[in-house]
Structure 1
Amino acid sequence: MNIRSYQTQDESDVIALWETCGLIRPWNDPRRDIARKLTEQPELFLVGTESEKLIATAMVGFDGHRGWVYYLAVDPGFRGRSYGKALMREAERLLMERGCPKVNLLVRNSNKQVIEFYRSLGYVQDEAISLGRRLIPDLPA
C-alpha cells in the first residue's frame, strides 16, 4: 500500500470508503468534515492506495498538546494485510516529527473489533470520559 496525503479528487472515493466501513453518522456531513480538515494540517489527512485504488484513510491532527486520529478506515476487501497498522505507524511517525508526546483516539464502546485492533498496537484505555458539545449543526446539505 502506498500512503500519501489526501488530494481533492479523492473526495468521492473517501466518502464511499467511509460509508462502506460504517464511519458516517447522520450528524456528521463527511464533505464538511473533509473541508474542515483541509483548513488545518491538510498534509496529515492520509490515504492509502493500491494500484491507484483508494483503500484506506486516516485523518490525523496535532493541537500542540496531543495528537488525534479520526476516520481510520481500511476497505474490507483489503483487511488482514496490516494496512491499518501501517497507517497508524505513519500517523505516529508524522506526529513524533512534530514533537507530539501522546496520541488519542475515540472508538465507540460497541466496536469491540476495532478496540482489539488498537490494543494490538499498544493502545490502552485511558481513565477518562469523553464529553462533547456541538457548536455548529452539521446536517447534510
Structure 2
Amino acid sequence: MTAAAPSPALSIALITDHDVADVVALWQECGLTRPWNDPTTDIALARRGPNSAVLVGRDGGALVATAMVGHDGHRGWVYYVAVDPGRQGKGLGRTIMMAAEDWLREAGVPKLQLLVRRENAKAGAFYQSLGFEESTSVMFAKWLDGREATW
C-alpha cells in the first residue's frame, strides 16, 4: 500500500457576497452552468437556510475551488464542484470534496449523493476515485414552475 499524496492546503470558507461573481465565473469556465439554471439564484437559494452552503477554496488569495452542499436531514447532496481548470489534477477537487463531506458530517448527515451527467466521464471517474459508486436508483424530476423538461 502506498502512502496518500499530501492534500493541498486550501483555505476553505463559506461564500461571501464579494465571492459571488468569481464563483459564477469559475462555474462557467468549468462548464457547470446551464441556461435553465441561473447560478446566482442557485447561490442565493443555498445561502438562505442552515441546511445548505456554498464552500469556496482559496489558494493564497485566489478563489480556485467550490462545492455547493446541502441536506434534507438524511441525504446530503453536493453540486457545482469546480476547480480552476489550470489547477486541476493537483488534489484541489479532493480537498474541496473532503470539506463538503466534513460539512455534512458536522450536520449529522449519514449519506452523500451527487449527480453527474452521463456524458461527463471525467467527472464520473473523479468521483469513483473518491469512493463513490453508481447508484441503481432512477432519478425523476419535475419543474415546479411549469417549464418543459430540459434533459
Q: Considering the TM-score relative to the shorter chain, is it more than 0.5? A: yes
Structure 2 gap segments, 5+ residues each: 1-9
- Which of residues 93, 109, 119 in structure 2 aligns to 1:110? 119
* Matches of 2:47 and 2:105, distance apart in 1: 21
Runs of 4 or more consecutive aligned structure 1 residues displaced over 4 Å after TM superposition = none
Give the TM-score normalised by the residue count of structure 1.
0.92
Q: How many pairs does the alignment contain?
A: 138
* Matches of 1:61 and 1:109, distance apart in 2: 22
Partner residue, 1:120 = 129
1:46 aligns with 2:55: yes
CA RMSD of superposed structures (Å) = 1.5
Q: Would you say the 8 A contact 1:66–1:100 is kept in 2?
A: yes
* Matches of 1:42 and 1:57, distance apart in 2: 17
* Matches of 2:89 and 2:74, distance apart in 1: 32
Report 1:1-141 matches (<5 A).
1-41=10-50, 44-136=53-145
* Matches of 2:24 and 2:35, distance apart in 1: 13
For structure 1, which segment, 94-103 or 68-77, has the greater mean C-alpha deviation from structure 2 after superposition? 94-103
> Residue 114 of structure 1 aligns to a residue in which SS?
helix
Q: Would you say the 8 A contact 2:71–2:77 is kept in 1?
A: yes
The amino acid of 1:134's aligned partner reads W
Q: Highest CA radius of gyration, 1 or 2?
A: 2
Q: Would you say the 8 A contact 1:18–1:24 is kept in 2?
A: yes
Alpha-carbon shift at residue 130 of structure 1 (Å): 1.2
Same amino acid, percent of matched pairs: 46
Alpha-carbon shift at residue 78 of structure 1 (Å): 1.0
Q: Give a deviation string over 1:84-116, Cα, whole Å, max 9, x none.
A: 101111111111121111100000000000000
* Matches of 1:43 and 1:110, distance apart in 2: 27
Alpha-carbon shift at residue 42 of structure 1 (Å): 7.5
Q: CA 1:42 to 1:6, structure 2 compared with 1: closer, same or farther past 3 Å? A: farther
